[in-house]
Amino acid sequence: MARQKKAAKDNAADTSMGFTPERFERELKDLASKAKDDTWSNRVLGQVVLYVKTLVLLTLLGVYSNASQLALSPVYGSIPAAAWHSKALMAGCFIGWAGNLAFRQVLPISTEKLLPLVALYVPVMQCFLYRFSQTLGANYGPLVTEGVTLVPMAILTAASVADNLEGVDLSSVPKVLADAVPGVGSWGTFKLIEHIAEMLLRKHVGTVFWYTRVGMEILLAGSYTVFAPSKYLALAIPALVHTAMFNPHVDTPTAMALLNTTMLADNWMILDRRESVTGYISVVEQTRSKMRVLRADHSLLGGDWAEWRGNQVTEPIYAIFVMLEAVRLVEREVPVADADAKALVIGMGIGTAPSALVSHGIETTVVEIDPVVYEFAQKYFQLRENHPAVIEDAVKYTNRAANETQDVYDYIVHDVFTGGVEPVDLFTFEFFQNLYTLLKPDGVIAINYAGDLRSPTPKAIVRTILQNFPTCRIFRENLPDDKAIAETGSDFTNMVIFCRKAAGALTFRNPVKEDYLNSPSRQNFLTPQNEVLPGDVFSNGKDEEGFLFRNGTDKVKEGQYANAAGHWAVMRSGLPATFWERW
């Protein structure tokens, strides 16, 4: 400070006295000092710092993009949650990039220092906005929620990146490209990081607290705080208190106890919950009726009634899962005894179908991709099994099995609908070819499919099944509701497609007492009802959509929104909104 005062005094004196030798000598020294500081290494270091800061900002936003989608999926399902996501994110980045100069003039602090403050409030705003999911609906709920949470993060990140890149030396870049390189390069880097983060999160989600939905948001907010600390973070204390003590979505025992306190007021109780590869998984029980269900994101994988839990098998709440067991009733040229039969079940749910097959004495192999679903089926739903399930992606399993052996199974049960949308890779022509290979010559397959029969995707999938198996019959869970169809234009239903590998008629034998396993629901629903004729699915008995091949799933995935929205409405009509919002 004294040196600065002296220099100021000398400058003032020099100014008053005009040019002097002493002043000339001092200016030469100042220039030499500046030249010494402005070395090549310092310039490179400065450029590296700018690039590193930019990369950190883009990385945090790339991870946040995935965390936001995961946080929305229990309330809206993965497909509706993604409907507006890319557009909203792109709009936020464009606003931030184009308006960075305006933000510097208007905001009291830099956009970098605002980022941690906004990030700390994201879990709070999500928790608040979930309460309006029924009003906003699956169409606009995700857009509004991310518009208040993720979009501001995108705006501030893009503005901060633009500020950093203003100092980047682009003298070696052709002038015609210099203006475009920072923006295009930043967007490309962000999309790459977003994709890598998606793959990593899909593989590790739920393994530790920091890989849970809110856990990731807390970790990201902490990273922003370290990256750009400021005194304004004191304003985030209410958000920290809410997240630590009052947010029921945090995966801690305290939050679980708080959640059950509120849910018990509506006669619901969460017995267990976990985040896993197929979504948010929980076991929830209705305390009055003792109905217990297994939830995956915004969907139910199955459920049973507590009063029947000591029975030979549990009593399922959904008739469709009982209908799958009718695969045993399909008449065959040479009947096979249950003790000599083998079955393959793709997809577990709560284990209704595999438990029944095992109870009949059939050696049953189950392939399930989600270890938590398998664990909860064992722990809470009286799963019966011959041997542990195969925890593997069914596509990989069937590819390997079909190449190693043939004619293995008498029965195959295909039941993989989850999360409000079908996993299309398990409904392709090639996948059904593998199942065809794994079925004995007179074997039978039962395929559960849920969808809107008026939309193109179910038609393509049904047509693909019928092309692979020569003899099939289709049954829906309930008769069509003409009034609802006229009002909504949708005919969303569960259906089971029974097929034989051999040609000829497909008929069912009459059940006997032993087939029912002492179960009232099986007495009512084991025999398939409500048959659907091909003409009811395809116009004039034809399918203009063709088949679903492995290399054509992208087109189908783009059209899955109608199916997912229909499923969302069905789930909301069957259970109260609070059931889905308090996850």
Which residues are catalytically annotated? Answer: 415
| Contact call for residues 348 and 380 (beta carbons, < 8 A) | no
Q: What angle in degrees, to the nearest 10, is found between the helix axes of 133-148 and 111-129?
A: 170
Distance CA 409, CA 343 (A): 5
| Contact call for residues 79 and 299 (beta carbons, < 8 A) | no
| Contact call for residues 363 and 342 (beta carbons, < 8 A) | yes
| Contact call for residues 369 and 202 (beta carbons, < 8 A) | no
Element housing 551 (H / E): none
Q: In sequence order, what are the residues at sequence separation of 6 or more whose Cβ sits closer than 8 angstroms to the Cβ of residue 399?
A: 434
Q: 293-316: buried (b, 16+ CB within 10 Å) or exposed (e) per residue? A: bbbbbbbbbbbbbeebeebebbbb
* Listed residue (494, 464, 502, 499) closest to 476, CA to CA: 494
Intra-chain end-to-end CA distance of the chain, in Å: 59
Q: In sequence order, what are the residues at sequence separation of 6 or more whose Cβ sits closer than 8 angstroms to the Cβ of residue 449?
A: 417, 422, 427, 458, 461, 462, 494, 495, 496, 497
Detail the DSSP E strand segments found in 166-313. 268-276, 279-286, 291-296, 300-305
**CA dist 276 to 187, 485, 499, Å?**
30, 35, 33
